[in-house]
């Protein structure tokens, strides 16, 4: 199947797999809010695989403001805009060049390549890392905060544990040379052990923004089409190029309750109608710890002058009160 022949869009694919009705959502934003705040796991259909509870350590969430966008990295999207086919080789070469340019500009002193890559991703520079959150409410913010005339989308992503029961994780502090730097096999192929991998990177509160967003990253090889890892759309198997436009990672989006053991992760998706966005923004603001643009993107630079002004003001007040005690009657 090719894109030109089918008019394939990521949004069409996801629309076939939305779980809105299976988890009991009705026509109100409050139904989604209730589902999220109750653990994001309720399932009303025995024929559909139950979603994992939000407190599970191998479950992550991603919110996107446009329901028609694929689950992809910013580096993939930049490359796709300029080349006919994105490969692991091209991603690795561009990634290497970005790191070199950033270091030449003074970024990354005493940082490993992995640490620098995480910093770049969190500040809007294209990388292969995909931002996710450990919490559904923080992820919801990114789905509803903008594009209020478009439907949004929330992804629930569960990483499959290894045979030993451990979740695949990569430590940025150990990535002096990125462990996937040699994954490409020529210009067209890549190591199967990398293309099938989905790992979490938890930078341990890289900065205040990362902590506020309960953020971490997912990373893995560019998805490939193997006999045991295939997905269908409208009754036909998808080729690798189409799979990558849906998700760049080896993440399975089930239509039926099938095991999918060959995949590294499973994901489900919820559509958020455009008319729900503003009410959900208000509900996020009403949280005990409000979730807003300012709290999710702490404006440290903007408030610096205010902080200094208040410090000077309080300093003068304290000095005057000590120097001039109240007179006695």
The terminus-to-terminus CA distance of the chain in angstroms comes to 93
Mean of the pLDDT values across residues 53-74? Answer: 94
* Confidence band for 3, pLDDT divided at 50, 70 and 90: very low
Model confidence band, residue 49 (pLDDT cutoffs 50, 70, 90): low
The residues, any chain, with a CB within 8 Å of residue 246's CB and separated by 6 or more, are 10, 13, 14, 70, 71, 231, 238, 253
DSSP 32-96: HHHHHHTTS-----TTSPPPPPTT-TTEEEEEES-TTS-B--HHHHHHHTT-SS--HHHHHHHHH
- Rounded to the nearest integer, the mean pLDDT of the chain is 86
* 307 in a structural domain: no
Whether residue 217 lies inside any domain: the answer is yes
* pLDDT above 70: residue 300: no
Within its chain, how far is the Cα of 237 from the centroid?
Answer: 26
pLDDT digits (tens, 9 = 90+) for 10-45: 999 999 999 999 898 999 999 999 999 999 986 666
Task: Say if 208 falls within a structural domain.
Answer: yes
Residue 63 lies in a domain: yes
- Number of independent structural domains in the chain: 1
Q: pTM for this one?
A: 0.88
Quote the pLDDT of residue 7: 37
Whether residue 321 lies inside any domain: the answer is no
- 237 domain-assigned: yes
Across 102-116, average pLDDT: 92
Q: Which of 17-26, 108-117, 143-152, 234-243 has the lowest mean pLDDT?
A: 234-243
Please state which of the ranges 55-69, 80-94, 245-259 shows the lowest mean pLDDT. 245-259
Place of tokens 């997912």: 218
* Residue ranges making up the domain that contains 291: 3-298
pLDDT at 180 over 70: yes
Structure token pair of residue 91? 């991603």
In a domain, 305, yes or no: no
Residue 197 pLDDT greater than 70, yes or no:
yes
In a domain, 306, yes or no: no
């Amino acid at each position: 199947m090719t894109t030109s022949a089918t008019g394939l869009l990521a949004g069409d694919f996801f629309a076939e797999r939305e779980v809105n009705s299976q988890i009991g959502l009705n026509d109100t934003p409050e139904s989604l809010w209730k589902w999220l705040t109750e653990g994001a796991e309720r399932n009303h259909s025995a024929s559909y695989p139950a979603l994992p509870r939000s407190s599970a350590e191998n479950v992550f969430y991603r919110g996107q403001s446009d329901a028609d966008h694929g689950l992809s990295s910013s580096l993939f999207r930049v490359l796709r805009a300029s080349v006919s086919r994105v490969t692991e080789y091209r991603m690795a070469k561009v990634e290497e060049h970005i790191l070199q340019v950033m270091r030449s500009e003074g970024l990354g002193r005493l940082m490993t390549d992995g640490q620098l890559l995480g910093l770049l991703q969190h500040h809007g520079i294209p990388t292969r890392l995909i931002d996710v959150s450990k919490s559904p409410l923080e992820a919801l913010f990114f789905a509803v905060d903008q594009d209020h005339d478009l439907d949004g989308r929330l992804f629930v992503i569960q990483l499959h544990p290894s045979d030993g029961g451990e979740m695949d994780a990569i430590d940025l502090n150990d990535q002096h040379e990125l462990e996937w730097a040699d994954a490409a096999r020529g210009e067209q192929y890549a190591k199967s052990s990398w293309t099938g991998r989905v790992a979490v990177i938890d930078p341990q509160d890289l900065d205040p923004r990362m902590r506020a967003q309960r953020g971490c990253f997912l990373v893995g090889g560019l998805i490939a089409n193997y006999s045991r890892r295939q997905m269908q759309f409208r009754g036909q198997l998808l080729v690798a190029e189409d799979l990558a436009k849906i998700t760049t990672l080896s993440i399975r989006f089930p239509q039926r309750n099938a095991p999918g053991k060959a995949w590294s992760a499973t994901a489900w998706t919820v559509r958020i109608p455009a008319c729900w966005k503003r009410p959900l923004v208000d509900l996020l603001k009403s949280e005990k710890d409000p979730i807003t643009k300012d709290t999710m993107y702490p404006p440290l630079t903007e408030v610096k002058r205010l902080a200094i002004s208040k410090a000077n003001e309080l300093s003068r007040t304290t000095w005057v009160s000590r120097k001039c005690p109240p007179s006695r009657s």
